[in-house]
Amino acid sequence: MTKEELVQKAQEARKLSYSPYSHFAVGAALLCKDGEVFYGANVENSSYPLCMCAERNALYNAYMHGKKKEDFAAMALSAASDEPCSPCGACRQVLSEIFPADAPIYMSNLKGQIQETNVRELLPFAFSADDLK
């Protein structure tokens, strides 16, 4: 699957966003090595801290279907942002634990801009289970 196709799927997922507070809809598409794609969109709540991001919903969706870190090939996310939408700090921390460090993450917007990155770039010196020893 091309990065453009995965971004297209993130934009489809974005349509499922529940974001009546921020009015900032985000979609994510998580591609597995077997070709399966899992979707996520942000889901907000009147108690604002309970809002859940598109990226984490996509990851947790995949986990609930039996997928694991080693099964993931790439992720795309998309929003109507000026610059390609970038994962928040909480999502970076979650990605650093359950998404491969070097797998491509395609940040995008609705203007067709796509910027490739990965967890290693997004969260250097991440806190991890090793720090708990």
Contact residues for ligand THU, defined by CB under 6 A: 19, 22, 24, 26, 42, 44, 51, 53-55, 77, 85, 87-88, 91
| Closest CB 4 distance from ligand THU, rounded Å | 19
| Closest CB 120 distance from ligand THU, rounded Å | 18
From 4, 12, 36, 55, the catalytic residue: 55
| Closest CB 14 distance from ligand THU, rounded Å | 9
Is 55 noted as a catalytic residue in this protein? yes
CB atoms within 10 A of CB 111: 11
